Amino acid sequence: MSKPTTDTDVSGDADAQTPDTAQADIKALLAGLPHLPGVYRHLDASGEVLYVGKARDLKKRVSSYFQKTGHSPRIAHMVARVANIEVTVTPSEAQALLLENNLIKQLKPRYNILFRDDKSYPYLMVSDHAAPRINYYRGSTQRPGQFFGPYPNAWAVRETIQILQKVFRLRTCEDTVYANRTRPCLLYQINRCSGPCVGHISLQDYEHDVKRATQFLKGQTQVVLHDIEERMLAASEALEFEQAAALRDQMSALSRVLQQQTMEHSDGQDTDVIAIAMAGGKACVNLAMIRNGRHLGDRAFFPAHLNDDDAGDILEVFMAQHYVEHALPPVIVASTAPKDESIVALLSAASHGKTRLLTRPQGVRRSWLEQASHNAQLALVRALTEGGARHARTLSLAETLSLETDQQSLEELRIECFDISHTAGEATQASCVVFHHHEMQPSLYRRYNIEGITPGDDYAAMRQVLTRRYAKVADGQMSMPNLVLIDGGKGQVQVARQVFEEYGLDLSVLIGVAKGENRKTGLETLVFADGRPPLVLGAASAALMLIAQIRDEAHRFAITGMRAKRAKARQGSRLQDIEGVGAKRRQKLLNRFGGLAGVGAASVEQLASVEGISLDLAKRIYAALHE
Distance CA(8)–CA(410), nearest Å, equals 35
- Per-residue model confidence (pLDDT) at position 553: 92
Task: Give which of 478, 536, 481 is closest to 506, Cα–Cα.
Answer: 481
CB 445 within 8 A of CB 433: yes
Distance CA(598)–CA(596), nearest Å, equals 5
The pLDDT of 422-451, averaged and rounded, is: 86
What's the DSSP call for residue 133? Answer: B
SS3 38: strand
Residue 173 in this model has a pLDDT that exceeds 70: yes
Residue 217: how many other CB atoms lie within 10 Å: 23
Distance CA(116)–CA(108), nearest Å, equals 10
- Per-residue model confidence (pLDDT) at position 14: 42
The pLDDT of 333-348, averaged and rounded, is: 89
Distance CA(159)–CA(165), nearest Å, equals 10
Distance CA(79)–CA(532), nearest Å, equals 41
H/E element, 380? helix 364-400
Task: Give which of 310, 328, 326, 322 is closest to 286, Cα–Cα.
Answer: 322
CB 213 within 8 A of CB 163: no
- DSSP state letters, 500-547: HHHHT--GGGEEEEE--GGG-TT--EEEETTSPPPB---TT-HHHHHH
SS3 205: helix
Distance CA(298)–CA(317), nearest Å, equals 19
Distance CA(430)–CA(464), nearest Å, equals 9
- Per-residue model confidence (pLDDT) at position 370: 92
- Per-residue model confidence (pLDDT) at position 16: 44
Tell me how far apart the terminal alpha carbons of the chain are, to the nearest angstrom: 61
Give the predicted TM-score (pTM) of the model.
Answer: 0.61
CB 35 within 8 A of CB 58: yes
Domains in the chain, start-ordered, CATH in brackets? 6-107 (3.40.1440.10), 123-260 (no CATH), 271-379 (3.30.420.340), 413-565 (3.30.420.340), 577-625 (1.10.150.20)
- Per-residue model confidence (pLDDT) at position 119: 62
Express each pLDDT in 58-112 by its tens digit.
Answer: 999 999 888 766 677 778 888 888 888 889 999 988 888 889 988 988 888 888 8
